[in-house]
Structure 1
Amino acid sequence: MSSLPLRNHCPYTLDGSASDIHGEAAALRAMGPATPVELPGGVPAWSVTDPELVRRLLVHPHVSMDAHQHWPAYLNGALPADWPLRIWVDIRTVQTAHGPDHKRLRQPLVPAFTARRVRALASQIADTAAAVLDDVAKVAAAAPDGVVDLRTHFASRLPWLMVTELLGLPEAMHDGFQRVNDTVFATDLTAEQAAANTAQATQLLGALIAVKTEHPGDDVTSALVRAHRAGRLSEQELADSLWMMMGAGYGTTAALLDHAVVNLLTHPDQLDLAMSGRVGWDQVVEESLRHQAPVANFFFRFLTEDLHDEATGLTFAQGDALVINYAAVGRDPGVHGTDAHVFDVTRPTARKHLAFGHGPHYCMGAELARLEGRIALPALFSRYPGLAFAVAAPDRLTPLPSLIFNGHRELPVRLEGTSNRWT
């Protein structure tokens, strides 16, 4: 057990392998709007599952994202130096900043995500999706059994190409960065594995910054380098902001596409509604975000003062750490009904989700992720109307070992199956 203090009662231990995110979310929801939990490594926190409590906390002035100012366990050395999740509090980015620092770190990123800039990317997304689907066909044709992993070659590939384009990442660096990105969000790593990932990320980021310092361009990396050289970002903030952009811009959309494909193939009647135009692809995207929040759990927020929530009767103490359980929030029966666990593209409450957060830390890339989904999903199912899974049952799909990103290790499919149902 951790030497850190635990409050109220014996905490629920979160499964670092994330083998059943929604089973765990349902169990936590049944315990109340927020429940003491123990994170991998024995670190205590609260898991917040109630949507209205989440909304209140995310805009409350006494809730911070900055462990460097507001998490006593981090400041007083109670956290082990080799804690596998330590990267999520060590980093200095817009996602971990509070107050004036948040505004300062956000400012260089804003131009890349204006509504006008995102809309202008539509044709590029469509062209990239077409190229990705061409490659999917080549991979399937070369496979002896015709099976292709749609997670690797579609759900991950498209958003990776889009975020690296925004960042201006040289193609020669793609593979190295993606390998580290694919492991850094795992929450079942040993301390040694986590340290190795951090070291490799540091080396890669240093090389990228050197290239963009020497050869700047019209991209987010160059904008961040300019902000650093102007004294508006520290060296660590520069590197960490790049790392955050890669992970958030890639992982969230990959998870969205991953689960949308799974749900549409397992609900062919709903796929037909979308393909026939009776339900818009925007609605499909929103229900996918609600039903399978791409970020299952967000680490962390911290109490800057004691806080009593009158609506729930809960009291959070100064220094307590909060984990926002978006997987539970998206399936809340009070918002979405007793069938909240069911995927339904006709659901009237589909848009009432918090998958991209709420308040001042609302995800800047939310509209880009939505746009990629609205373009890529119809492109996939129009190109391959006979798409079918190459596994016998849903439980044969292995979840990512991550409490953070909600997805699968792989999605084995055949492009010309006998039906859209499980084979």
Structure 2
Amino acid sequence: MSSPHRLDPAGGCPHADNARLLAQGAVTPVVLPGGVEGAAVLGHDALRDFLAHPDVAKNARHFTALAEGRVPEGWPLATFATVQGMTTADDADHRRLRNLVSKAFTARRVEELRPRVEEMTAELLDRVERAARESEDGTVDLRRHFAMPLPMGVICELLGVDAEHHERLHHLSNQVVATDIGPQEAMAANRELVQTLAAVAATRAELPGDDLTSALIAAREEGGDRLSQQELIGTLLLMIIAGHETTLNLISNAVRALCTHREQLDHVRTGKSDWAAVVEETLRWDSPVSYFPFRYPTRDLEVAGTVIPRGTPVLAGYSAAGRDTAAHGPDADRFDATRATAARHISLGHGPHYCLGAPLARMEATIALQRLFERFPDLDLAVPDPELPRHASFVGNSVDELPVRLAF
């Protein structure tokens, strides 16, 4: 492999580094926070094959450095490796946990959520307009007032989490995804997140409702060992994070892309493209997740001509794969919602761990963008895109704030 790429814990826009690394090969060694050695798979075809490879595991018992005590205490990425749930389970355990959750994300169940998503979208846009009118300069942070509360509200309703917890859960999720925080902060955020979700589970156990948490608890009670308490909390934790952070970034990145590529908005308005295509092109061009932790080869594994040693923590380089010219053509770095290859992206995963919530994320983002630009057709960024503060993480890929002018 080439010389290791030291990932910046402060995050930032990944695309320049991705292009440089891809020019050197589809796989690169990386140095993670704390000096932990790893690798990243960046090329589209290489990543697609790696994600579905039978000799690649998700359970951290295969993580050599962790097993040997070479990962520092309070490591900011520890939750991704050690939480018990679908994303860290393999084979029969993974199928068991996925089957318990999948009923909430069938095409029929997602479609049943459409009226509620549309209702929440309309309510939030009312709040966005009020916030803009009340601000001194007529701007509003669209990420805070719209892109975050929509997916957070939807996933929390699905899970039966009361509204009083939403803001705190978002903050704690941000801390878990952040890669630039210290050990004490990381451990405190993880501890509080687990405690909050344990309290939610206790409430649902006492007062069950028509929600996924109640259903998971009932499955545990009926099936005995079908779902342990740790797996229940781990599943809730992963669904809260994945269920809103990804869609939050997707909506934010799509708004930024459309505001800086006004001709693409015109394509939608004239029927040359549509909102679903905008969502797919955003997923490809500016993936909501840049580097997702972790997978581990269970043997020395050759990937695109590079051998990744057994037990190496491997990052899935979704933002790099989305702009891989070998898969998407020489203009892969151009945002084009009429692009025929956009649907070939793998930004929502591939293989047995393909994102269960993908249909819901797509529906939420499509409704959000359509309603937003129908109501505020001249909406534009209040700050030039390169000056927007970036999310302090190389896991999530977006901005921390999205100030816009609605021009109503």
Question: After TM superposition, which residue ranges in structure 1, 4 or more long, deviate above 3 angstroms?
Answer: none
1:139-288 aligned within 5 A: 139-229=131-221, 230-288=224-282
Q: Distance in 1 between matches of 2:131 and 2:208?
A: 35
- DSSP 3-state at the match of 2:342: coil
**Per-residue Cα deviation, 1:112-170 (whole angstroms, up to 9, x for no partner):** 00011111111111111001100101111111111100011111121111111111111
CA distance in 1, matches of 2:342, 2:335: 10
Aligned-pair distance for 1:218? Answer: 1.3
Matching residue within 5, 8, 21 for 1:28: 21
RMSD (CA atoms): 1.3
Q: CA 1:308–1:144 in 2, change beyond 3 Å: closer, same or farther?
A: closer
For 1:174 and 1:151, locate their aligned partners in 2 and report how far apart those are by CA, in whole Å: 15
Residues 182, 84 of structure 1: CA spacing in aligned structure 2 closer, same or farther, 3 A cutoff?
Answer: closer
Cα deviation per residue 1:53-104 (whole Å; 9 max; x = unaligned)?
Answer: 112111111100111x211211222211221211111101111111111011
Q: Which amino acid letter does the alignment assign opposite residue 58 of structure 2? A: M
Confirm whether residue 414 of structure 1 aligns to residue 401 of structure 2: no
Q: How far does residue 226 in structure 1 lie from its aligned partner after superposition?
A: 2.0
In the alignment, the residues of structure 2 paired with residue 154 and residue 183 of structure 1 have an alpha-carbon distance, to the nearest angstrom, of 20
Contact 1:168-1:219 within 8 A present in 2 as well:
yes
After the TM superposition, which residues 14-413 of structure 1 pair with which residues of structure 2 at under 5 Å, given as runs? 14-67=7-60, 69-229=61-221, 230-309=224-303, 312-391=304-383, 393-413=384-404
| Conservation of the 8 A alpha-carbon contact between 1:47 and 1:325 | yes
- Decide whether the 8 Å contact of 1:63 with 1:302 is kept in 2: yes
Identity %: 43
Q: Residue 3 of structure 1 aligns with which residue?
A: none
Post-superposition CA distance 1:341-391 (Å, at most 9, x none): 111111111111001111111000001111111111010001111212212
User: 1:175, CA displacement in angstroms?
Assistant: 2.5
Q: How far apart are 1:9 and its partner, in Å?
A: 5.4
Q: Describe the superposition over 1:37-67 as per-residue Cα deviations: whole angstroms up to 9, x where unpaired.
A: 1011111111101111112111111100111
Contact 2:380 2:404 in 1 (8 A): yes
- 8 Å CA contact 1:176–1:204 kept in 2: the answer is no
The 3-state SS of whatever aligns with 2:343 is: coil
CA distance in 2, matches of 1:97, 1:410: 34
- Tell whether the 8 Å contact from 2:272 to 2:338 is kept in structure 1 after alignment: no
Structure 2: distance between partners of 1:57 and 1:84: 25
Residue 395 of structure 1 aligns with an amino acid whose one-letter code is P
Amino acid at match of 1:58: L
Distance in 2, matches of 1:402 and 1:308, equals: 28
CA separation in 1, counterparts of 2:203 and 2:174? Answer: 23
Task: Tell me, in whole angstroms, the C-alpha distance in 2 between the residues paired with 1:31 and 1:227.
Answer: 49
Change (3 A) 1:9 1:329: closer
What is the TM-score with the length of structure 2 in the denominator?
0.97
Paired residue secondary structure (2:34) = coil
Partners in 2 of 1:330 and 1:255 — Cα distance? Answer: 15
| Residue ranges of structure 1 left out of the alignment (5+ in a row) | 1-7, 418-423
Higher relative contact order (CA 8 A, sep 6+): 2
Q: Deviations over 1:212-263 (max 9, x none)?
A: 1101111111122223333211111111100100000101111110011011
Question: TM-score with structure 1 length normalisation?
Answer: 0.93
CA distance in 1, matches of 2:350, 2:395: 17
Question: Relative to structure 2, which stretch is displaced further, 88-97 or 314-323?
Answer: 314-323
